[in-house]
């Protein structure tokens, strides 16, 4: 237990089950004393989240529905959060989606609809939630999203999601400039491959994991807890001088040729 986020109201978006990166983040934020507010899309995710919270004896301040494809849903969710919590001190954006048939084969075969869907849910959503959350971040704070190396390099099969993550990382920089004057910092964690529900949709995912153990400087896998602690750092005052940054939590894989 540390007190890095004691009494801070932090919104966590994207817990689908115990393997979700957002669940690793939840544990780190809870250990740091945060008051946690969750958003979910599917009813199934809400049920899994409630069971996990119960099992781990974590009290949620609030759990609200939010479909990031829908502006009204985002507005409503943040209004409810704002009304309940008063002030938001931090936001974790850990949501993404692409059709599985766009996560294999040639990127050149990406459909227009598939491209727009991936951008909509995985990238534009950060813009929309930042706009709504900002209204309640009157004391400043931090926003952290989750990205992947496929934004910087061609990672086989990551395809349309790599391009969405490139847009997401550019958004981090533009948003950091917009909200910096309100004392709000916007950063991303670029995690190495972690076996989650979403990761299952990427063709050849096992090879992406095994290469980390072979080639990354630390020669070991990345897990949800490591991403959780890095996200905690970025949300906390320890990172008060850091914004517009992409922090790699990938055992150093991105530095090797
Ligand atoms: P999960 O499948 O556990 O989490 C993805 C989350 O996105 C789910 O909670 C899902 O909610 C949510 N989501 C999808 N569409 C929407 C929507 N329209 N509105 C609201 N929520 C939505 O996978 P991960 O934990 O792996 O993914 C979390 C983030 O981490 C993603 O941005 C992913 O790209 C990123 N990341 C993952 C890596 C990995 O190897 N796993 C590596 C680097 C980054 P629901 O299930 O309720 O639909």
Task: Give the residue among 251, 138, 139, 145 at the shortest CA–CA distance from 194.
Answer: 251
The residue ranges of DSSP E strands in 14-59, in sequence order, are 35-40
Q: Is-above-0.80 flag for pTM?
A: yes
Contact 87, 138 (CB under 8 A): yes
For residue 159, give its domain range: 9-251
- What is the tens place of the pLDDT at every residue in 146-195? 999 999 999 999 999 999 999 999 999 999 999 999 999 999 999 999 99
pLDDT of the residue at 201: 92
The answer to whether residue 256 sits within a structural domain is: no
Above 90 in pLDDT, residue 51?
yes
Residue nearest to atom 13 of ligand 1 (CA): 95
Contact 66, 74 (CB under 8 A): yes
Could you tell me the two tokens for 194? Answer: 């972690």
Mean pLDDT of 194-205: 94
- Residue written as tokens 């690793």? 24
The answer to whether residue 163 sits within a structural domain is: yes
The answer to whether residue 68 sits within a structural domain is: yes
The answer to whether residue 257 sits within a structural domain is: no
The answer to whether residue 246 sits within a structural domain is: yes
Above 90 in pLDDT, residue 142?
yes
The answer to whether residue 1 sits within a structural domain is: no
| Mean residue pLDDT across the chain | 97
Above 90 in pLDDT, residue 221?
yes
The answer to whether residue 17 sits within a structural domain is: yes
pLDDT of the residue at 1: 79
The answer to whether residue 4 sits within a structural domain is: no
The CATH number of residue 81's host domain is 3.40.50.720
Ligand 1 shell residues, CB under 6 Å:
14-16, 20-22, 40-42, 45, 66-69, 94-97, 121, 146-148, 191, 193-194, 196-199
- Number of structural domains, the chain? 1
């Amino acid at each position: 237990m540390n007190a890095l986020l004691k009494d801070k109201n932090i919104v966590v978006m994207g817990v689908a089950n115990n393997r979700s990166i957002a669940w690793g983040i939840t544990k780190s934020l809870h250990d740091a004393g945060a008051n946690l507010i969750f958003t979910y899309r599917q009813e199934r995710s809400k049920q899994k989240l409630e069971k996990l919270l119960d099992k781990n004896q974590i009290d949620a301040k609030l759990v609200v529905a939010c479909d990031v494809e829908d502006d009204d849903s985002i507005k409503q969710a943040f209004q409810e959060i704002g009304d309940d919590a008063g002030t938001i001190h931090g936001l974790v954006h850990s949501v993404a989606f692409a059709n599985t048939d766009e996560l294999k084969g040639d990127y050149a075969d990406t459909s227009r609809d598939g491209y727009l869907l991936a951008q909509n849910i995985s990238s534009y959503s950060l813009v929309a939630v930042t706009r709504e959350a900002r209204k309640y971040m009157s004391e400043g704070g931090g926003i952290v999203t989750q990205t992947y190396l496929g934004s910087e390099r061609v990672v086989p099969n990551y395809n349309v999601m790599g391009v969405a993550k490139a847009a997401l990382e550019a958004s981090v920089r533009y948003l950091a400039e917009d909200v910096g004057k309100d004392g709000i910092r916007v950063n991303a964690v670029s995690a190495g491959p972690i076996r989650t529900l979403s990761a299952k949709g990427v063709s050849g995912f096992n090879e992406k994991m095994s290469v980390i153990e072979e080639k990354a400087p630390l020669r070991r896998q990345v897990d949800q807890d490591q991403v959780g602690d890095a996200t905690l750092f970025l949300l906390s005052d320890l990172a008060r001088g850091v914004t517009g940054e992409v922090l790699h939590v990938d055992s150093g894989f991105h530095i090797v040729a």
